[in-house]
Structure formats: C-alpha cells, structure tokens
C-alpha cells in the first residue's frame, strides 16, 4: 500500500517542468521533497492533486492508477492537498472552514475524530473558532488549513510549503502540528518545503529535486548528512 509517482512528466503549457520523477509515500510515512526555487516542487504536488495534467508516466494508489481522474475525485478518495498560501475561505470563521473539511470527508468516517485531538493540543484554534479566517495571523491560518485538511480524513496529505512566510516560532508550531497529524491519522504525508533542515529532521525519507529531476533520495537523516545537501540547502560549508 502506497502513493506512487512513476516517471512523471508534466509542466505548464509547452514548458516541461518535471522530467521522469519517481517517488513513493507509504501509509503513516512522512516524506520530504526539498530543492531550490524553480526545482519543480510545487508542480509535483499540484500534479498529484490533479491541478495539472500528467503528460506521461503514472500516479498510483495501492497499485491502481489515478493519473486520469479529476481533482475532485482524488480529494474524495483521500488525497488531500494544503496548497502554498493556505487558501482558506476568508469570510468564513475558523469553525466553518474546518467544517468544510468534514464535508469533504464524505464516507470516510468512523473511529476517533482526529480534529478533536488537534483542538486539545492547540487551544488557539478553539479560541479563534468564531473569528473570520482573514483576521488571523499567517501562522494561525496555516494551523486552520492543516486542521481543515485533517477534518477531510486524508489517506495521503500533500503539503506545499507550510512554513512559507512564517516566523521561526510559528514554523516550529506548524511542524509540531504536522508530526501530530501523522501520529493521529496514520496518513502518509508528502512534505514539499523550502526550509530544508526542518523538513529533513521531521521526515522518514527524502528526495532532492533539481531542475525537475530527482538528484538524490534515501533516509532523511542520510540525505541531510550528505555534503551536497549540506552545502546547497543547509548553508554548511563542505
């Protein structure tokens, strides 16, 4: 059982961005994708979510291809994306945004409510429950976006730059929430992140994307320790 990207080729209009990218995310696994701006990280998650068309290659869940299914159908099946910039419904309250996630879950119900544990651990969400989303700070909005995604009961969660624009303190809170989501839901998480050090410390496995190609992969600790990654992404001289 896994989410698989197999020799994926895609891009925008006539401009190719990804060139034969392959990766895998297992249930309950946190997999990081790191790389510089323009490497194709956001293109990757947008294609998996169904927002961009697969030109060649395949996307599979548990061995079944979903490369030609709609974005809505993918979301209903449990492939849930938290996009860069959060994309909350700004005029709705925190509670109403999270309820939209519950509606997206459709038939994927039963068992412990994963949202309840997050609200207990991060009481700021309950304190802001009746506030409009556009009145929240960037860090609070990201926490709401993540909680809304959890309310949709994802099987696989795609996170696109969750630390973007956040202070170091809020970034730590968001990463703590991501780890808790993994523990509580058992979802496989694909984390695309510019903050390479935090992502690699949190992840089980990692892929390095360069100019639309996977240049390195392996256990996250090994990738983080490599001289190439330390020089290019962690600011450590070789």
Q: So what's the pLDDT on residue 235?
A: 73
Q: Give the pTM.
A: 0.92
Average pLDDT for runs of 10 along the chain of length 238: 96 91 97 94 96 96 95 92 86 92 71 82 91 91 92 94 90 91 93 93 97 96 95 75
> What's the pLDDT score for residue 111?
65
> What integer pLDDT is reported at residue 49 of this predicted model?
96
Residue 110: what pLDDT?
A: 62
| CA distance readout (Å), 156 to 34, 77, 212, 219, 232 | 18, 9, 22, 19, 29
> Quick one: pLDDT at residue 90?
87
| Domains of the chain in sequence order | 3-90+155-232 (3.40.50.300)
């Amino acid at each position: 059982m896994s989410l698989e990207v197999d020799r994926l080729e895609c891009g925008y209009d006539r401009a190719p961005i990804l060139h034969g990218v392959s990766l895998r995310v297992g249930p309950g696994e946190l997999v990081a994708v790191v790389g510089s701006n323009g490497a194709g990280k956001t293109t990757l998650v947008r294609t998996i979510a169904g927002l961009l068309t697969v030109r060649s290659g395949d996307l599979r869940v548990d061995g079944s291809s979903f490369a030609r299914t709609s974005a809505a159908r993918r979301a209903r099946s449990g492939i849930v994306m938290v996009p860069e910039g959060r994309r909350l419904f700004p005029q709705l309250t925190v509670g109403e945004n999270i309820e939209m996630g519950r509606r997206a879950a459709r038939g994927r119900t039963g068992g412990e409510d994963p949202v309840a544990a997050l609200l207990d651990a991060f009481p700021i969400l309950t304190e802001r429950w009746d506030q409009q989303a556009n009145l929240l700070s960037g860090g609070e909005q990201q926490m709401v976006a993540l909680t809304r995604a959890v309310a949709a009961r994802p099987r696989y969660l795609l996170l696109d730059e969750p630390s973007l624009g956040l202070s170091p303190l809020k970034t730590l809170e968001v990463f703590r929430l991501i780890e808790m989501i993994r523990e509580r839901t058992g979802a496989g998480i694909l984390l695309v992140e510019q903050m390479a050090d935090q992502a690699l410390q949190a992840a089980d496995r990692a892929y390095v994307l360069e100019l639309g190609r996977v240049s390195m992969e392996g256990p996250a600790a090994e990738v983080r320790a490599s001289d190439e990654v330390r020089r290019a992404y962690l600011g450590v001289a070789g």
